[in-house]
Amino acid sequence: MKYNLFILLLITPVLTYSQNLLRNNSYQAGLSTYLTSGNQLPFWLHSNQYGEVPFEGNVLQVMASAHHEYDSTYSVDQKLNKMALGYGLRAVGNVGRVNVLRLTEAYLKGRAGPFEFYAGRRREIVGLVDSTLSSGSYIWSGNALPLPKVQLSIPNYTPILKNKLLSIKGTYAHGWFGSTDSVKNYYLHQKTFYARLGKPQWRMKFYAGLNHQVQWGGKPTVPFYDNPTDQTITSFPSDFSTYINVVTGISLNKDLDAGEIKDGVPYNEAFNRAGNHLGTIDIAMDFNTRFGTFMLYRQSIYEDGSLFYLNNISDGLLGLSFRNSRLGIGLEYLDTRNQGGNTGSDNIIPQLRGLDDYFNNGLYEDGYTYLSRTLGTPFLMPFRQFSSNLEGSAINPNYLYFNRIKAIHSSLSYWMPNLQAHLSYSFIESSGRFGSEQILKNHSTTISLLYQKDNMHYQLSLASDVGDFWNSRTGMQLSAIKKLSF
Distance CA 296, CA 414 (A): 20
Give the number of other Cβ atoms within 10 Å of residue 416's Cβ: 10
Going along 394-434, which residue ranges are E strands?
405-415, 419-433
What single letter denotes the amino acid at residue 324? Answer: N
Domain spans, the chain: 2-39+124-217+275-485
What single letter denotes the amino acid at residue 233? Answer: I
Q: Could you list the pLDDT tens digit for every one of the 486 residues in the chain?
A: 444 454 444 444 554 555 566 677 899 999 999 999 988 999 999 999 999 999 988 999 999 999 998 865 555 555 556 788 999 999 999 999 889 999 999 999 999 989 999 999 999 999 999 989 999 999 999 999 999 999 999 999 999 999 999 999 999 999 999 998 889 999 999 999 999 999 989 999 999 999 999 999 999 999 888 887 888 888 888 889 889 989 998 877 666 565 566 577 787 776 777 889 999 999 999 999 999 999 999 999 998 766 666 777 889 999 999 999 999 999 999 999 988 776 655 554 555 566 778 999 888 999 999 999 999 999 999 988 886 555 556 778 888 888 899 999 999 999 999 999 999 999 999 987 777 778 889 999 999 999 999 999 999 999 999 998 888 999 999 999 999 877
Distance CA 221, CA 171 (A): 31
Contacts of 7 (CB under 8 A, 6+ apart): none
**Alpha-carbon dihedral angle through residues 368, 373, 377, 378, given to the nearest 10 degrees:** 140
Spell out the long-range contacts of 191-195 with Cβ–Cβ below 8 A and sequence spacing 24 or more.
191/247, 192/126, 193/168, 193/169, 194/128, 194/157, 194/168, 194/169, 194/170, 194/282, 195/166, 195/167, 195/168
Q: In Å, how far are 284, 305, 414, 452 from 308, measured between CA atoms?
A: 20, 5, 41, 49
Distance CA 413, CA 397 (A): 35
Fold of 2-39+124-217+275-485: Porin (2.40.160)
Spatial contact of 128 and 194, defined as CB atoms under 8 Å apart? yes
What single letter denotes the amino acid at residue 164? Answer: K
How far out from the chain centre does Cα 225 lie?
Answer: 34
Distance CA 301, CA 317 (A): 8
